[in-house]
Amino acid sequence: MARDLTVLAVPGYFATMALEYAYLRARRDETGPTQGDYERSDTIASLSMGVASLVAPIVLPKIVAPITPGKGKYAKAFVAAVAVTAAVTTAADAVRRRAARDAADETQPPASRARRRRIQRRAAAVARVGGAATVAGAVTVVSTGWTAALKADRLWDRRVVADLGTGPLAWTAAIAGWDFIYYWNHRFMHTSRYMWAIHVVHHSSERYNLSTALRQPVADTFGTFVPYGVLSWLGVRPHLVLQARAINLIYQYWIHTETIRTLGPAERIVNTASHHRVHHGSNQQYLDRNHGSILIVWDKLFGTFEPEQEPVVYGLTKNVHTFSLPVIATHEHRDILRDVAASDTWTDRWNFALRGPGWAYARHAAEPLAVAVT
Task: Examine residue 157 and state whether it is found in any structural domain, yes or no.
Answer: yes
Residues 193, 285: one domain?
A: yes
For residues 108 and 163, membership in a common domain is answered with: no
Is 318 part of any domain? yes
Q: What is the C-alpha to C-alpha distance for residues 162 and 156, in angstroms, rounded to an integer? A: 10
The predicted-structure confidence for 4-24, as pLDDT tens digits, reads as follows 788 889 999 999 999 999 999
> What local confidence, expressed as pLDDT, does residue 369 receive?
59
Strand partners, 270: 295
Note whether 136 and 276 are same-domain residues: no
- Asked, for residue 68, whether it belongs to a domain, the answer is no
Do 208 and 313 sit in the same domain of this protein? yes
| 103 CB-side CA count, 13 A | 16
SS3 readout for the chain: CCCCHHHHCHHHHHHHHHHHHHHHHHHHHHHCCCCCCCCHHHHHHHHHHHHHHHHHHHHHHHHHHHHCCCCCCCHHHHHHHHHHHHHHHHHHHHHHHHHHHHHCCCCCCHHHHHHHHHHHHHHHHHHHHHHHHHHHHHHHHHHHHHHHHCCHHHHHHCCCCCCCCCCHHHHHHHHHHHHHHHHHHHHHHHHCHHHHHHHHHHHCCCCCCHHHHHCCCCCHHHCCCCCCCHHHHCCCCHHHHHHHHHHHHHHHHHCCCCCCCCCHHHHHCECCHHHHHHHCECCHHHCCCCCCCCECHHHHHHCCCCCCCCCCCECCCCCCCCCCHHHHHHHHHHHHHHHHHCCCCHHHHHHHHHCCHHHHHHHHHHCCCCCCCC
Q: 253 in a domain, yes or no?
A: yes
pLDDT at position 370 is: 52
Residues 51 and 121 in one domain: no
What Å distances lie between residue 38 and 41, 141, 250, 324, CA to CA?
9, 40, 21, 17
For residue range 118-147, list pLDDT tens digits in order: 999 999 999 999 999 999 999 999 999 999
Q: What is the pLDDT of residue 280?
A: 98
In the chain, the number of structural domains is 2
Please report whether residue 372 resides in a domain. Answer: no
Report the residue count for the chain: 374
Q: How far apart are CA 267 and CA 278, in angstroms?
A: 13
Predicted confidence (pLDDT) at residue 373 exceeds the cutoff of 60: no
Q: The pTM is what? A: 0.93
Is 96 within 8 Å of 102 (Cβ atoms)? Answer: no
Residue 374 counted as domain residue: no
pLDDT of residue 365 exceeding 90, the answer is: no
Dihedral in degrees, nearest 10, Cα atoms 276, 200, 364, 35: -50
C-alpha dihedral sign at 340, 343, 346, 352: negative
Q: Is the pLDDT of residue 374 over 60?
A: no
> What gap in Å lies between CA 189 and CA 183, rounded to an integer?
10
Residue 70 lies in a domain: no
**How many angstroms separate the CA atoms of 79 and 239, rounded?**
33
Q: Are residues 110 and 233 in the same domain?
A: no
Give 184-206 pLDDT, tens digit per residue.
Answer: 999 999 999 999 999 999 999 99
**51 and 120 assigned to the same domain:** no
Q: Indicate if 117 and 265 belong to the same structural domain.
A: no
pLDDT (tens digit per residue) in 47-71? 999 999 999 999 999 999 999 999 9
For residues 313 and 203, state if they share a domain.
yes
Average pLDDT taken over every residue of the chain:
95
What's the average model confidence in pLDDT over 195-222?
98
- When pLDDT is averaged across residues 311-335 and rounded to a whole number, the result is 96
pLDDT-derived band of residue 165, with 50, 70 and 90 as boundaries? Answer: very high
* Shared-domain flag, residues 232 and 303: yes
Same domain, 319 and 184: yes
What confidence category does residue 368 fall into, taking pLDDT thresholds of 50, 70 and 90? low
The amino acid at 166 = T
Q: Are residues 239 and 350 in the same domain?
A: no
The span from the CA of 183 to the CA of 248, in Å, is 11
Specify if 137 maps to a domain: yes
* Amino acid 249: pLDDT: 95
Domain housing 181:
5-62+152-332
For residue 44, pLDDT beyond 70: yes
Return d(Cα 59, Cα 54) in angstroms, integer.
9
